[in-house]
Amino acid sequence: MLIEWPSERAINPVGEVCGFDFKDFDLFRNPHTHVPFDVERDMHRALTKPFEIARFDFRNPPDFREEDHVEALTLAGTQSGTGHAVAVWFELDLDDEISISTGGEANLDQWHRTAQFLDRDLPVHAGQDCRITVSRTDTRFFFETLK
């Protein structure tokens, strides 16, 4: 789900903090890092509905070749605002009756909802489409604004 998260965007990427210029420190920040995101506590606004970025059947694992896994996504804006990050969670169906999810009210000790900041702010308008890309490797998903 694309979110507006201004309190955290102020430090992702690192810029000015309390009147001090920390921009040079941003060289040490991994722009593809996912940060913890608590949908109940972190002040944010959802700008799109949740959208699926991947579906896997682990009985037949996918063949991950980096060049094959960059996809442009068109998202419908549900509210106007500035897209700062993509909130991510998973739903894992172990069988027809047992599922694990990090979405919503999940109370899991090890797995949590996360967010990854976009490379630049993305203007979003209610009722209009916006576009991002999602790339994946065998261990990570990365989001960027469509250039």
Query: Rounded to two decimals, what is the model's pTM?
Result: 0.84
Quote the domain boundaries for residue 93. Answer: 2-145
By CB neighbour count within 10 A (0-12 exposed, 13-18 middle, 19+ buried), where does 136 fall? middle
Could you give the number of structural domains in the chain?
Answer: 1
- Start-to-end Cα distance in the chain: 19
Kindly report the average pLDDT of the chain as a whole number. 86
- Across 25-34, 81-90, 101-110, 136-145, the highest mean pLDDT is recorded for 81-90
Confidence check: pLDDT of 46 > 80:
yes
Percent above pLDDT 70 for the chain: 91
104 Cβ contact partners less than 8 Å away, ≥ 6 residues apart: 39
Q: Return the CATH number at 8.
A: 2.70.160.11
Walk across the sheet containing 141-145 and list its strands.
70-76, 129-136, 141-145
